């Protein structure tokens, strides 16, 4: 009796296929006239039973599934070990915000929006404005996040982002000053995670940086009561008449911030002797040793963050991560540069 023409799952034989459509019912393998021909390999005919195990194998023995890929220096989504996923950045999507950006690294999607408000500066820094970072993980992003119960990771990522942005010196807070001691800008940066598929910090930092580069500071004027009001395009800019007799135009047009030392981050997984760049959520759930390296364009380390994990990080592993982060910083700088950002 002739062997039924079966559809062989292509990912078994073509290693690391990008074809993510997995045939669900392996048992229905009598496709009439299927264009999916049997690959001409002798072992194929008896591998019908092991075919359906690939999906099950991935679920039951995830670590072994991944390790068998690492031996071939590749990952299940066909990426080489040190390569990050495709990255896309779009600017200016939220019209009501003063600056906004959407960053996608693979499937991980982050939407960042900045809103500027005038406030009185703190007494010990009268010439500086302020940046408040908030990171939200709404239930849409991941099945683990439920409404009413904020994700554990959210305040931690918010704090790390805030620390990174402030300590890297990307935004000179003095540029956010309006009137010394009396008025300064407070930038409320809100980042929404729309899809949490691993490497959340990297995507969030990228979206924050892109939003700052898209930011246009609104035009304001000092009115007679000494209060700052926003100016629409028709009104003219005025300075406080008592301080400066002639009209000095400060914010003639909406100005952009000058960004120095932009930080770029890369998260890596350490597993035995392998270093995997830019993990997906599946990889993060199986292998728990993550190292996040944040570099700026002058090759300085803004942050090396490793929190526990099964494997210890020796100098060679850290050096490997820093090297991968360097390459990634160049890639990201190019992506941002393509959008006419300095």
Partner 1 sequence: MSMDIDREDGRAPNQLRPLACSRNILHRAHGSASWSQGDTKVLVAVYGPKAGTKRNENPEKACFEVIWKPKTGQIGKVEREYEMVLKKTLQSICVLTVNPNTTTSVIVQVVHDDGSLLPCAVNAACAALVEAGIPMKHLAVAICCCLADNGYAILDPNKIEEQKMKAFACLVFPNSILSVLPEGSSLVEGEPAEHGIITSTTYGVMSVEDYFLCVERGQAASASLSAFFRKNFQQSQRDPSKP
153 lies in the binding site for partner 1 (CB under 8 A)? yes
CA–CA separation, 112 and 135 (whole Å): 9
List b or e across 159-168, with b for residues whose CB sees 16 or more CB atoms inside 10 angstroms: ebbbebbeeb
Q: Return the number of the residue (72 or 299) whose C-beta is nearest partner 1.
A: 299
Q: List the one residue from 140, 272, 316, 342 that touches partner 1 (CB under 8 A).
A: 316
Residue entry with tokens 């591998």: 47
* Element containing residue 320 per DSSP (H, E): helix 315-337
Q: List the one residue from 183, 302, 329, 336 that touches partner 1 (CB under 8 A).
A: 302
Q: List the one residue from 37, 125, 167, 223 that touches partner 1 (CB under 8 A).
A: 167
User: What residues have CB less than 8 Å from 274, skipping those under 6 apart?
Assistant: 70, 81
Q: List the one residue from 42, 123, 312, 334 that touches partner 1 (CB under 8 A).
A: 312
271 lies in the binding site for partner 1 (CB under 8 A)? no
User: What is the CB neighbour count within 10 angstroms for residue 146?
Assistant: 10
12 lies in the binding site for partner 1 (CB under 8 A)? no
231 lies in the binding site for partner 1 (CB under 8 A)? no
- Please, are residues 105 and 203 in contact by the beta-carbon 8 Å criterion? yes
**Which residue, among 112, 334, 335, has the nearest Cα to 212 in the 3D structure?**
112
User: What is the CB neighbour count within 10 angstroms for residue 330?
Assistant: 13
156 lies in the binding site for partner 1 (CB under 8 A)? yes
Q: Using CB under 8 A, which of the segments 4-12, 164-172, 179-187, 249-257 binds partner 1?
A: 164-172
Q: How far is the CB of 165 from partner 1 (least distance, A)?
A: 12
φ/ψ of 15, rounded to 5, equals -65, 130
User: What residues have CB less than 8 Å from 225, skipping those under 6 apart?
Assistant: none
301 lies in the binding site for partner 1 (CB under 8 A)? yes
85 lies in the binding site for partner 1 (CB under 8 A)? no
315 lies in the binding site for partner 1 (CB under 8 A)? yes
Torsion of CA 84, 86, 92, 95, to 10 degrees: -110
Structure tokens at 327: 């390459």
Q: Return the number of the residue (155 or 226) whose C-beta is nearest partner 1.
A: 155
CA–CA separation, 324 and 78 (whole Å): 18
What is the gyration radius of the CA atoms in the chain, in angstroms?
Answer: 26
309 lies in the binding site for partner 1 (CB under 8 A)? yes
163 lies in the binding site for partner 1 (CB under 8 A)? yes
168 lies in the binding site for partner 1 (CB under 8 A)? yes
Q: Using CB under 8 A, which of the segments 11-19, 26-34, 39-47, 301-309 binds partner 1?
A: 301-309
155 lies in the binding site for partner 1 (CB under 8 A)? yes
Q: How far is the CB of 189 from partner 1 (least distance, A)?
A: 14
Q: Under the rule (CB under 8 A), what is the footprint of partner 1? A: 144, 152-153, 155-156, 158-160, 162-163, 167-169, 261, 288, 296, 299-316, 318, 322
């Amino acid at each position: 009796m002739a062997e039924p023409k079966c559809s062989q799952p292509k990912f078994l034989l073509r290693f690391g296929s990008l074809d993510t459509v997995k045939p669900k019912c392996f048992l229905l393998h009598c496709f009439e006239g299927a264009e999916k021909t049997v690959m001409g390999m002798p072992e194929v005919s008896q591998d019908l039973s092991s075919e359906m195990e690939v999906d099950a194998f991935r679920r039951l023995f995830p670590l072994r599934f991944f390790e068998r890929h690492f031996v071939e220096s590749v990952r299940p989504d066909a990426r080489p070990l040190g390569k990050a996923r495709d990255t896309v950045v779009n600017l200016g999507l939220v019209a009501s915000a003063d600056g906004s950006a959407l960053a996608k690294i693979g499937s991980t999607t982050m939407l960042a929006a900045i809103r500027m408000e005038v406030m009185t500066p703190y007494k010990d820094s009268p010439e500086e404005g302020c940046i408040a970072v908030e990171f939200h993980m709404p239930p849409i992003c991941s099945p683990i996040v439920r409404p009413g119960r904020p994700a554990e990771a959210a305040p931690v990522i918010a704090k790390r982002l805030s620390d990174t942005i402030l300590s890297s010196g990307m935004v000179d807070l003095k540029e956010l000053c309006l009137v010394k001691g009396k008025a300064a800008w407070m930038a409320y940066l809100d980042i929404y995670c729309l899809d949490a598929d691993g490497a959340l910090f990297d995507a969030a930092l990228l979206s924050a940086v892109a939003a700052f580069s898209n930011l246009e500071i609104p035009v304001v004027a000092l009115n007679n009561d000494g209060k700052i009001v926003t100016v629409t395009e028709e009104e003219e800019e005025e300075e406080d008449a008592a301080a400066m007799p002639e009209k000095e135009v400060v914010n003639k047009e909406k100005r952009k911030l000058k960004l120095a030392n932009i930080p770029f981050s890369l998260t890596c997984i350490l597993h035995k002797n392998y270093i995997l760049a830019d993990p997906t959520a599946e990889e993060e759930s199986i292998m728990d040793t993550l190292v996040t390296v944040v570099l700026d364009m002058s090759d300085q380390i803004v942050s090396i963050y490793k929190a526990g994990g099964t494997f210890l990080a020796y100098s060679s592993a850290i050096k490997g991560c820093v090297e991968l982060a360097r390459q990634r910083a160049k890639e990201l700088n190019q992506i941002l540069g393509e959008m006419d950002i300095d």
